[in-house]
Structure formats: structure tokens, C-alpha cells
A and B are shown apart, each in its own frame.
Chain A
């Protein structure tokens, strides 16, 4: 009995905060998605309508934005994987210890350099009169300027450490004799990576992908500053929150739904328990 009171005492405040403020707000947001806005006063009126969700599908601009955002998030996740695996293999299995330590710090440092600072940095790099065009122009390469490509590169830049660090840690933990056995049995390096390394580091890749995917899905500041006219789901939520809260609320359900579907589809792999 005493332990129960103790537990209640420990949990009371945090649960009041997280459920009473946060979960309550999320539920109210969800409820607002079914409400209506008075077109004259733009005041929100409680009620029940599916019109706001209908808008998501019927309005071609909204639908294409949702699809574009999903594709951007998937591209960023794929790019982070393609970078993290070779990076992790090099750091864990090829680099000398001093270089390994240096690289481990080097990939962690930018994590703290500031979200907007990094977006500003990409803006400075890819602007028309910027560094990218200056450095690669002489080779006849023109940069992507401010476009969807730059948004993907910027989001990769922002979220790469979330993938690179767990993947590197996982590769480091692989026992060395697995590699010896594989080589003794005649497998080449490429085959060892494909049949030994990749299956074993899959949980780490999935854990990292949850971050790269969901963080990209909700982002819209990158699109605003390096995307030119690119719109993402967040852009639509942000531009509707004051004028038409129910539409913004309905749109906020979209990234939540994508994240939940993604989590459910990776849950079977058992990666969630290892996070």
C-alpha cells in the first residue's frame, strides 16, 4: 500500500502535465478537425463535419502537397541510409583508432550546431551566387538552386546524425570473428556486407529511420527557406492555423497518420524495443 502511494506521488505531477496539457491539447486539436469555421467572422464553431478531411482529398493542391511531403521524407530517409552504412563501415572497420575517435566527434558535433544555423548554412551554400555554383560552375555543373532537391539535401544535412550514430554503433558492436568466418568461407567484402552486416544492423537502421522520416515529415522551415516555391504539409498547417483552424487541424492529422503507419510497419521487426 505504501508503495502504491509512493508511485502515485511520483507520477501525479508528470501525468498531470503530459496528459492534462499535452494529450488534452492533441485530442482537442483532433476534435477541432471536425468543427466548422464561420466564413464571415472566422470564428470556430463546434459541430461535426467531415468537410475538412474531404478538402485534403478533393483539393488537388492539398493532396499533391501531402504526397510530395511523403516522398521527400522517404527520399531523405533513403539518402541518410545510403550515407550512414558506408560511413559506419569505414569508421568502425577501416579507420585507425585515432581517426575513428575524431570521426565519431565530427559526425556528432553538427547535431548541436543549431537547426536554423544549418538551414542558413545551406541557404548560403546553394544560393545562385553562392559557394556551390562558384565551386562547381567551372566544371559545367549548376546547383539545384532553391528547389525540392535542395530541401531533400537540407533535411538530410539536418537529420543525418540521427541515422549515422546508431548505425555506426551497431557496426562497431559486430564481433570481428564474423568477418573472419565470412572471409574464410570465401565471401568477398561486398558479399559480407550484403549478407552479414546489413541484416545484423537492420534494427539500428530502422531506429534511425524513425527519426529521419518523422522529422522530415513535419518540417516546413527548410521548404520555406531553401525550397523556393516548394510547399510541405507543415506549410499548409502553418498558413491555416489562424484563419481556418479546423482545416489546419485536419491537416495535422496527416503527418500523425503517416508516422503511426510507419511505426506499425516497423514494429514487427522488433526495432522499437531496442530504441
Chain B
């Protein structure tokens, strides 16, 4: 074990405490401010009120933005699930020239800054496709989000496939199953939880994305992060944005909980 003096232990403990305070106090402030009666976020809070929660739940723009976020997230996740799984199978089951380049290509959309991805697609949509009469409209966002979500599905499915034994599939084929039967009844169940985990991560990534969305959303369409950003940009940001942020914080616990559960399910099985 690492032998540290009492002073060093206390020093390290202090650093950890400061980091945790730095991580959680700001989030707590947002949650508390959602109950602040004042119009502008301020500290200390003088009067508590549920006014902003009521306003947020009654707000038509928030509902529309939430719906857009969910639709875009589901669309992007569906595309990412198909493409990510296909690439995972290609890279896991085959060796070919340019394999390295393909795996780099999948990571690239999240390795490059979002502003570059956003501006590049915006340029294609507006300067190349629009002049020849193609309006991507709403699908522009889905195409953009799907592009950087592929890696999430790929990573999960690829890691799982690496641990699967090919014997089971061989047995299935020997017993006369068609390739589709083998995939549906033997292969898929074995990587299903990784597939679902990848899908959840892809959805969460899409739901949270701001910068790429700014450049690819059609005029007048807000996703939830875009709505939040527009609220924050106003000089007197109304406190409803704190309510939405609080709900996002609560919902962010879901993927963590789900991935923990999926992880445990796998742990139990082995």
C-alpha cells in the first residue's frame, strides 16, 4: 500500500472534498433556484415559490421543444443502432485493409469539435443541397445527430462481440438453422444488453447536444437544449429555465441507473 503521512492524507482528502463541492454545489444551486420566487436567479433565496414549476408545466414552447428532442433522439438512435451494429460486426468478424481507418472514421464525429461538424453539415445543407432543390429540414438534425451517435452503439456492441464464443453460432448452423434464425435466436440475444446500453447512451448524447443542433436545426424549431440556450441568452432570463434544468438533472440519473442495472445483469450471468 501507498504509505502516506497523516498530513498528506488530510491534504488529499481536502482536495477531494473541494472537487466534490465544486461539482455538486452549482447543480444544487440550480435546483434550489427553480423554487426561487424572484424572476432572476439570485443568492441567497429570499422567497420560495412553485410559480416557475407551474409555468414550466403549462408552457407550450417547452412541450414542443421536449417533443422535438425526443423525436430527434429516437430518430438518431434508430439510425445509430443499425449503422453501429453493422460496423461492429464488420470490424469484429473480418480483417481487411483499412480497418484502422474505419475505426478512426467512427470516432471522428465526436473527436472533432461540434462546431466543425455543425458548420460542415450546415454548409452542405445550405450551399449544396438547397440550390439543387433538396430541403433537408427536420431531417438535417437527425442526420447530424446520428453521425456522432454511431460510436456509442459501436463501442458497446463491439466490446460484447469480442467476448462471444463462435461455437454457439456454429452449433446453431450445424443443427440446420438458417442464417437469419441463427442471428435472431442465438447471436442477437447474446449482445442484446450491449445493444440496448449503446442505444441509451446514443439517445442521451443526442438529447444533450447543443452546438451541432444550432447549425442543423431548421428555422423556428427548438430542441430542449436550444430552448434553454435561447432563454439563457435573454437579459432577464426567467426562472423557468431552472425548472427545466432541474428536470434534466433528474432524468440524467436514468441512464446511469439503467447502465448499472444492465451491468449487474451481465455480472450475474457470468
Residues of A that sit less than 8 Å from B by CB: 3, 6-7, 10-11, 13-15, 17-19, 21-26, 28-29, 32, 44, 83, 86-87, 89-91, 93-94, 103, 105-110, 112-125, 127, 129-131, 134, 157, 160, 176, 179-180, 183, 189-190, 192-193, 210, 214-215, 217-221, 224-225, 233-234, 237-238, 241, 245, 248-249, 252, 255-256, 259
Query: Which residues of A lie under 8 Å from residue B41 when comparing CB positions?
Result: 123-124, 127, 130
Instruction: Please give the distance in Å from B119's CB to the nearest CB on chain A.
Output: 5
Q: In the complex, what distance in Å separates the CA atom of A250 from the CA atom of B235?
A: 32
**B31: nearest residue on chain A (CB-CB)?**
A121
Whether B113 pairs with A218 at a CB distance below 8 angstroms is yes
Whether A157 pairs with B23 at a CB distance below 8 angstroms is yes
In the complex, B123 has a CB within 8 A of chain A: yes
Whether B112 pairs with A256 at a CB distance below 8 angstroms is yes
Q: In the complex, what distance in Å separates the CA atom of A14 from the CA atom of B86?
A: 7
**A263: nearest residue on chain B (CB-CB)?**
B111
Whether A112 pairs with B147 at a CB distance below 8 angstroms is no
From A6, A121, A221, B211 is in contact (CB under 8 Å) with A221
Q: In the complex, what distance in Å separates the CA atom of A256 from the CA atom of B117?
A: 11
Q: In the complex, what distance in Å separates the CA atom of A233 from the CA atom of B113?
A: 11
Whether B26 pairs with A134 at a CB distance below 8 angstroms is no
A-B pairs with beta carbons under 8 Å apart, 20 shown: A18-B106, A18-B109, A21-B121, A22-B120, A26-B116, A26-B120, A86-B15, A89-B12, A94-B4, A113-B27, A114-B208, A114-B225, A118-B26, A124-B26, A131-B25, A157-B22, A218-B114, A224-B233, A225-B232, A248-B119
Whether A103 pairs with B16 at a CB distance below 8 angstroms is yes
Apart from A14-B150, A248-B119, what are 12 other A-B pairs with CB-CB below 8 Å? A7-B94, A13-B86, A26-B116, A28-B124, A90-B13, A115-B210, A118-B27, A127-B42, A130-B42, A219-B211, A224-B233, A237-B119
Q: In the complex, what distance in Å separates the CA atom of A248 from the CA atom of B23?
A: 34
Instruction: Please give the distance in Å from A249's CB to the nearest CB on chain B.
Output: 7
- Can you list, as one digit per residue, whether each of B211-242 has a CB less than 8 Å from chain A (1) or not (0)? 10011000000000100110011000000011
Q: Which of B50-58, B159-167, B188-196, B251-259 contacts A (4 or more CB under 8 A)?
A: B251-259
**A117: nearest residue on chain B (CB-CB)?**
B245
B42-101 with Cβ < 8 A to chain A: 42-44, 79, 82-84, 86-87, 89-90, 94, 96
In the complex, B3 has a CB within 8 A of chain A: yes
From B9, B15, B82, B233, A13 is in contact (CB under 8 Å) with B82
In the complex, B128 has a CB within 8 A of chain A: yes
In the complex, B248 has a CB within 8 A of chain A: yes
**B4: nearest residue on chain A (CB-CB)?**
A189
- Whether A249 contacts B123 in the complex (CB less than 8 A), given A18-B150, A103-B16, A114-B248, comes out as yes
In the complex, B156 has a CB within 8 A of chain A: no
Instruction: Please give the distance in Å from A221's CB to the nearest CB on chain B.
Output: 6
Query: Which residues of A lie under 8 Å from residue B266 when comparing CB positions?
Result: none
Q: In the complex, what distance in Å separates the CA atom of A19 from the CA atom of B12?
A: 48
